[in-house]
A and B are shown apart, each in its own frame.
Chain A
């Protein structure tokens, strides 16, 4: 059941046997869901691996995209239930998953309880709130190139977080969801589903981490294939912050689908710190007038890490706005790819869309690739996009050093200065500090 398979076919370690073993573990879930998983597995098994000629994978390193050598159905791991506390964020409630299973949870804070907020596992929600799950879980198409891996995610998704905020309810504190992977070769399929009904308001923090290891140990190899669905109803406000800090030997995929309804406001911020190769696809749909999506990302790429970010801002209705700002700091021989597309549908007049990718090059050997794009079918819109790459300003560096600040610390300060435009948008102090700490640690390794 937990044997590591090697294969050169289209499924790698995620064989039919592995899928059957997985289905066995979730057979208590509703039949419609199992059917969807079976269909997803077929799509995964039939789809080819990405090819060089595929525009959606331009600049990506395909040679290292392997599905082999992973444990598709890892056993439960012993888990230090305090480990997530080091992150300093417990908020109104939290769920802790390790190797796709719930290992710890704290119910919603008393001040939020009784409000009708549901904060539970996806498995419970599938059994108790099937209609909500059916309407919102993985219902958006994969449009950015990873159909195969998105299908794999759906096929092997075992459990995750389900967060539902009813009409008019505000969750005052953030809720935290922790996803851990432990054990060599472990494959994890984290998922967080957020549904904010009319005029609801919530902040959700997703953490992705490999189990803590002794500092000098070789990092464990993991395969992480996760997703999140953010449904932001009429007038609702959702803040979603994700911190990807997998081990440096992890291959990571993350897929985001956001749907913003009339006058909805959604802010998502992804911090990319971990993994050896990480692809993040983010798809925001501005589905009704007045919807606004703020798409933010910070990346600290070092060593030979590769971060591949693909985005789509889809304006489907008039008077919608979106604002994308992705900032990458690159060290050593690291590589980043940003490919962003703004699409404005013919009747989405008065769209105001902005897309910006800024790269701070801290090394001559690092490589930043930017592919900004626009597809505008309406005639009365304002769309701006741009990409820049710059080095650290030598005069700024000298200024800091002339005050006794060591070169490495000066660099760190300048990177934080570069990131502040994004970090400054996090209102919750605890989350702000947690992000800052993860970034700071990257300069100590």
Chain B
């Protein structure tokens, strides 16, 4: 079984350190919710692990199945089994979803291997149906002119097609109304039930998402690291008491 080990990770943008000693192990099939107030480093963590060039990992380690990913380019990390579901997916004019996804699938094939187009489209259409995405979408440009809900469904579609070992889902619930949230959650839950269930790091600001994607673990992040961990009841406690409660507890412990 695959696992992602994040050990004492420090991440900075320019001179500013954002993540300060983040440690967590995610096993395939598990869902770890990462909660916390804005500006605490949740998105930075996800993007840096995926290899975004704006972020520098100054110390610590990220191991996928025992091997470090830190020297890998973003595309190598993705082919190794990491997937980042973006909070704000890029719009790419002129590149159709079909071409984009085919390129992503082909990138995972060995040289000389031919894509089975029939099988590919069959699989694509099945996943699109599950996510209630109109098949006409395949000829539309990636994310261009999509509503917030369409963008997020498109992220989940990519995740379903690429079957990562570990998915980092960054604020997947932001900008979604309740119907869109349900569809997205159903898509994620279907993948959790599949044989190739990924390990999921579910970054969210709100407890609401966790009603639909029920986590195995909940971690609260503050000032660049995990300050409290628990099961799904921790999310409910946070909802009731607010983040200040964690901040105060943390401040008291460090006093």
| B99 A413 Cβ-Cβ under 8 A | yes
* Binary B-proximity of A411-431 (CB < 8 A = 1, otherwise 0): 001101111110000000000
Which A residues are within 8 Å of any B CB, using their own CB? 393-396, 398-407, 409-410, 413-414, 416-421
Q: A401-B73, A401-B74 are in contact. Are A409 and B107 (CB under 8 A)?
A: yes
Query: B104 to chain A: which residues have CB within 8 Å?
Result: 403-405
B135 CB → nearest A CB, Å? 20
Q: How far is the CB of A190 from chain B (nearest CB, A)?
A: 31
User: Which B residues are CB-close (under 8 A) to A417?
Assistant: 92-95, 141
**Cβ-closest chain A residue relative to B79:** A404
Bound Cα distance A406, B99 (Å): 14
Question: Within 8 Å of chain A (Cβ to Cβ): is B162?
Answer: yes
On chain A, the residues within 8 Å of B99 by CB distance are 413, 416
Verify B90–A419 contact, CB threshold 8 A. no
In the assembled complex, which residues on chain B have CB atoms less than 8 Å from the CB atom of A400? 92, 100, 103
Given A404-B108, A405-B104, A406-B107, also A416-B95 (CB < 8 A): yes
Among B45-85, those with CB < 8 Å from A are 50-53, 73-75, 77-79, 83-84
Residues of B within 8 A of A413 (CB): 92, 95, 99-100, 103
Please determine whether B100 and A403 come into contact, CB atoms closer than 8 angstroms.
Answer: yes
Q: Closest Cβ of chain B: how far from A444's Cβ, in Å?
A: 13
Write 29 A-B pairs (CB below 8 A) sorted by A numbering. A395-B90, A396-B92, A398-B90, A399-B86, A401-B74, A402-B50, A402-B84, A402-B86, A403-B78, A403-B100, A403-B107, A403-B162, A404-B78, A404-B107, A404-B162, A405-B75, A407-B75, A413-B95, A413-B99, A413-B103, A414-B92, A414-B95, A416-B94, A417-B95, A418-B93, A418-B94, A419-B94, A420-B141, A421-B94
On chain B, which size bracket covers the interface? 20 to 34
Among B75, B92, B108, point to the contact of A401 (Cβ < 8 A): B75
What is the CA–CA distance of A116 and B52 in the complex, to the nearest angstrom? 62
Cα of A410 to Cα of B50 in the assembled complex, Å: 16
Interface residues of B (CB under 8 A from A): 50-53, 73-75, 77-79, 83-84, 86, 89-95, 99-100, 103-104, 107-108, 141, 158, 162
Nearest B-chain residue to A419, judged by Cβ? B94
A69 to chain B minimum Cβ distance, whole angstroms, is 41
When distances are taken between beta carbons in the complex, the residues of chain A under 8 Å from B74 are: 398, 401-402
Most chain B CB inside 10 Å of its own CB: which residue of A401, A404, A413, A414: A404
Asked if A399 and B90 sit within 8 Å, CB to CB, the answer is: yes
With contacts A403-B104, A403-B162, A404-B107 taken as known, whether A398 is within 8 angstroms of B53 at the C-beta atoms is yes
Q: Give A404 to B75 CA distance when docked, in angstroms.
A: 4
Closest A-B pairs by Cβ, 5 of them? A417-B94, A420-B94, A404-B78, A399-B90, A417-B95
Which one, A398, A405, A414, A416, contacts B107 given CB within 8 A? A405
Nearest chain B residue, comparing its CB with the CB of A422: B94
Tell which of B53, B93, B158 touches A403, judged by Cβ atoms closer than 8 Å: B158
Q: How far is the CB of A423 from chain B (nearest CB, A)?
A: 8
Q: A401 vs B94: C-alpha distance in the bound complex, in angstroms?
A: 17
Q: Residue of A at shortest CB range from B89?
A: A399
Q: Closest chain B residue to A410 by CB distance?
A: B75
In the complex, A403 Cα to B95 Cα: how many Å?
14
Minimum Cβ distance to chain A for residue B13 (Å): 14
Given contacts A407-B73, A409-B103, contact A402 B78 (CB under 8 A): yes
Q: Which residues of B contact A398 (CB under 8 A)?
A: 51-53, 74, 90
Cβ-closest chain B residue relative to A395: B90
A102 to B45, CA, bound (A): 65
**In the bound complex, CA of A64 to CA of B100 (Å):** 40
Q: Which residues of A contact B52 (CB under 8 A)?
A: 398
Complex: chain B residue closest to A418, CB-CB:
B94
A418 to B93, CA, bound (A): 7
A419: chain B residues within 8 A (beta carbon): 94
A23 to B46, CA, bound (A): 73
A393 to B158, CA, bound (A): 21
CA distance A401 to B100 in the complex (A): 11
CA–CA, A394 to B54, complex, Å? 10
Most buried by B among A394, A403, A414, A419: A403
CB distance from A425 to the nearest CB of B (A): 13
Closest Cβ of chain B: how far from A141's Cβ, in Å?
Answer: 37
Chain B nearest CB: distance from A441 CB in Å? Answer: 17
With A405-B75, A413-B100 as given contacts, are A399 and B107 in contact (CB-CB < 8 Å)?
Answer: no
A403 CA to B53 CA, complexed, in Å? 15
C-alpha gap A222/B108 in the complex (Å)? 41
A78 to B100, CA, bound (A): 43
Q: Distance in Å from the Cβ of B249 to the closest Cβ of chain A?
A: 35
- In the assembled complex, the Cα of A400 lies from the Cα of B86 at a distance in Å of 12
Q: Shortest Cβ distance from A61 into chain B, in angstroms?
A: 31
